[in-house]
Amino acid sequence: MTSKQRAYLKGLAMELSPVLQLGKGGLTPEFTASVDQVLEARELIKLSILQNCLEDPREVAATLAERTRASVVQVIGKRIILYRPKRNGKTKIELPK
């Protein structure tokens, strides 16, 4: 992903509110499956890590991206933005070239 595409996705994500929250349970297979489902439906998602979660946000983002085959757009504080184009069907978000 180029820096221009990443900047475009950051702009789109500014208007999004977090759709999932990671708590003290940590990064479970069920949470990863939820992220995968939401990515397939929306392509661009924002996640929030609660204060009672002891895991590092950057490590969580990298692990989720690897498990779901997504791209980490941005990690700011305890917010993570992930992007993955739809696997089946037409994508909703057209990235600049």
Q: Do the beta carbons of residue 31 and residue 25 sit within 8 Å? A: yes
Assign residue 69 a region (left: φ > 0; alpha: ψ between -120 and 50; beta: otherwise).
Answer: left
Query: How many CB atoms lie under 10 A from the CB of residue 28?
Result: 10
Q: For residue range 17-53, what is the model confidence (pLDDT) as tens digits?
A: 999 999 988 899 999 999 999 999 899 999 999 999 8
Q: Which residues contact 79 (CB under 8 A, 6 or more apart)?
A: 18, 46, 47, 48, 49, 57
Q: What is the pLDDT of residue 11?
A: 92
pLDDT score of 86 more than 90: no
Q: What is the pLDDT of residue 93?
A: 83
Compute the average pLDDT of residues 8-12.
91
pTM: 0.91
Domains in the chain, start-ordered, CATH in brackets?
A: 3-83 (3.30.110.60)
Mean pLDDT across the chain, nearest whole number? 91
